[in-house]
Amino acid sequence: MKNTIKKPSRDKKRINKKAPLLALKYKLTWLPSSHELRVDLIYTPVQPGSTVFKYGEPDFGGQKDILTSLKNIQVDAPDSFKLNEATRTITVCHAENKPVHIHYSVIDTRPRNHGPMEQLFRPILTDNEFSIHGINLFLQPLFKKMLNKDVLQSVSWEKWPENITLFQSVDPQNRGDTLITAPVDKFVNGLRVSVMIAAADLQIQCFPVDNIPVYAIAKKDSVLHTTAFQAYMSGYFSSARKFWNNYVDHYYFIILLPFLPPLDKTENIGGMGLQNGHLSKYMSDDKSLSNFFIKHFSHEIVHNWIGLKVYMDMHAHSWFNEGFTDYISWYILVREAFWDAENFVENFNKNILKPHYNSINKNIHNSKIIDKFWNPGEDNSLPYQRGALFAFYLDNQIRLKSSNKKNIRNLLLSIQQFSKNKNENFKLTQNDFIRLTAQFLPEKQVKKDFTQYIINGDSIVFSSDNLCPVFQVHYQNNIPVITAGKKLKNFYQF
């Protein structure tokens, strides 16, 4: 018997389809004289009764009191709100599904005696410039169906001043004169991890690498605006994309700004990876592309993958997010001949092996590392050192086991593919890491090494038995010293 049920026509489907709901309309106003950003949010409820919003994240740079930056919260009658300071949540109560008008300010709450972390992660608002992360500006809606592609949000500026240059990482060509619209499901990896920078003397240059635009954002006469920097990006950034077999990003940006006084604790440079780019701040821009800048930029570029596309929980596994990033950045620097064997060895011995094996804290349990991670100093360096040493060790083990047919790149590509198949908020677990590494090394060995060197913090004893022939090792005062042959560049190929 023929099926007599009529299928709806394609035209009818098109007519019945609901248009996306523009639920969150942000209008931003910069008030330089009061050092604040004023936010007016029109919210059209997507669920009845009430909606919960969240502000900030203490784990973002270790800023435990970030809620102090949120001020002057108001909701127009007849609607109301309740603020829970412990959870940093705002519950907006609305009787009907009509637009709700929410108002608040974000202010600069840096303490007078503050360090580089505050300037990297907190809102910076002065009478002539500002820098702010999306996570500290926009409210995160905790919808029951958070990842809803039919719910949109928009961002616009109220009367942007003509004499001030604005850079918005989520829309690099937008100078404050165009509406930004995106689905709410892109909030976590869109507005929330974006950054906005504004200043009268801000200069933005754009140049192509692999046919995608690279934006260099800095003050006047910066190293970022030199031909040497463009040449570096053409080699290093292009090679980093090849390393990860990753060509989906439509642009990349690098922001380099000076630390603002007063600064209690000095640090030559600090940085953080962001979606499609990174932000760095420095004490002195010497206008030349020194090895100091090259090493820093290279680390932050690799964060476009490790820490964003491939991520482990920062509380438990900062060794991976930072130490593996360090090692892969060196891998690419050698491959692209920015470093020769001498540069690699000098960096590894001076900045990793010697300080780590000399440290009184080198053997502390992994669970204790994060407690002091956001404080510059020796404890801050521990996850970088422990992770880089383990990455170097695993790379050599995989090469030896596979007769040099596999290496750490194969492991990381496997991890990337595994993570890609998960949702946007996925964090690789310890068991995931062990299981994926066991594709290249015996599982029993992987578990033993992971527990011994990462969890318990035991020092790796390097020898000719666990290193590839290109490396040699000897000990001075119980500290391993690595040397490398001239064929190191061949070793770090892919």
pLDDT tens column, 290-327:
898 999 999 999 999 998 889 898 778 999 999 999 99
Whether 6 has a pLDDT exceeding 60, the answer reads no
Same domain, 288 and 359: no
- Residue 219: strand, helix, or coil: strand
Confidence of residue 455 (pLDDT cuts 50, 70, 90): very high
Give the pLDDT band of residue 422 (cuts 50, 70, 90): confident
Per-residue pLDDT, averaged over 262-273, amounts to: 74
- Whether residue 263 lies inside any domain: the answer is yes
pLDDT of 190 > 80? The answer is no
Boundary residue ending a domain (198, 218, 244)? 198
**Does residue 366 sit in the same domain as residue 280?**
no
DSSP symbol at 148: -
Residue 333's pLDDT is what?
98
CATH number (domain holding residue 85): 2.60.40.3650
- Tell me the pLDDT band of 11, cut-offs 50, 70 and 90: very low
User: Ranked by mean pLDDT, which of 27-36, 43-52, 60-69 comes out on top?
Assistant: 27-36
Instruction: Answer yes or no: is 26 within a domain.
Output: yes
- Within a domain: 354: yes
* Least trusted range by pLDDT, from 68-72, 301-305, 365-369, 462-466: 365-369
Cα angle 398, 314, 414 (rounded to 5 degrees) comes to 30
- Does 171 share its domain with 229? no
The verdict on residue 106 lying in a domain is: yes
Number of domains in the chain: 3
pLDDT the model gives residue 266 = 58
The pLDDT value given to residue 246: 84
40 and 137 housed in the same domain? yes
- Position 144 pLDDT exceeds 90: no
Pair type for strands 212-219 and 252-258 = parallel
Q: Are residues 78 and 212 in the same domain?
A: no
Do residues 385 and 493 share a domain?
yes
Long-range contacts of 221-226 (CB under 8 A, 24+ apart): 221/287, 222/256, 222/285, 222/287, 223/256, 223/285, 223/286, 223/287, 223/288, 223/289, 223/293, 224/254, 224/256, 226/287, 226/288, 226/289
Comparing 1-10, 57-66, 78-87, 279-288, which segment has the lowest mean pLDDT? 1-10
**Nearest in space to 94 (alpha carbons), one of 38, 49, 52, 124:** 49
Whether 115 and 260 share a structural domain: no
* 5 domain residue, yes or no: no
Q: Are residues 468 and 388 in the same domain?
A: yes
Provide, rounded to the nearest whole percent, the portion of the chain with pLDDT above 70: 90
State mean pLDDT over 242-270: 83
- Please tell me the predicted confidence (pLDDT) of residue 421: 82
**Angstrom distance (rounded) from CA 265 to CA 448:** 39
Same domain, 491 and 433: yes
Beta bridge partners of 402: none
The residue from 272, 304, 336 where one domain ends is 304
Q: Within a domain: residue 4?
A: no
Lowest mean pLDDT among 134-143, 220-229, 349-358, 372-381: 372-381
The mean per-residue pLDDT over the stretch 23-46 comes to 93
Q: Judge whether residue 97 has pLDDT over 90.
A: no
Q: State which of 198, 224, 254 marks the end of a domain.
A: 198
pLDDT value of position 417: 94
Q: Which residues fall within 8 angstroms of residue 83, CB to CB, at 6 or more apart?
A: 73, 89, 90
pLDDT at res. 391 = 98
pLDDT value at residue 19: 60
Question: Is a pLDDT exceeding 70 seen at residue 494?
Answer: yes
Conformation bin of residue 284: beta by default, left when phi > 0, alpha when psi is -120 to 50: beta
Average pLDDT on 53-80 reads 92
CATH number at residue 287: 1.10.390.10
pLDDT surpasses 80 at 7 = no
pLDDT band at 146 (very low <50, low <70, confident <90, very high): very low
Residue 76: the pLDDT is 96
Same-domain status, 184 and 207: no
Angle made by CA atoms 216, 381, 284, in degrees to the nearest 5: 40
pLDDT at 10: 37
Q: What is the CATH number of the domain that holds 350?
A: 1.10.390
Q: Residue 218: give the domain boundaries.
A: 201-304
Q: Are residues 56 and 172 in the same domain?
A: yes
Least confident stretch, 260-269, 376-385, 405-414 = 260-269
In this prediction, residue 256 carries a pLDDT of: 95
User: Does residue 456 fall inside a structural domain?
Assistant: yes
pLDDT, average across residues 420-435: 88
- For the chain, the C-alpha Rg in angstroms (whole number) is 25
Q: Would residue 9 count as lying in a domain?
A: no
Instruction: Using the predicted structure, report yes or no on whether residue 340 has a pLDDT greater than 70.
Output: yes
In 3-state terms the chain splits into helix, strand, coil percentages (rounded to 5) of 35, 25, 40
* pLDDT, average across residues 79-89: 96
Same-domain check for residues 324 and 359: yes
- Amino acid, res. 277: G
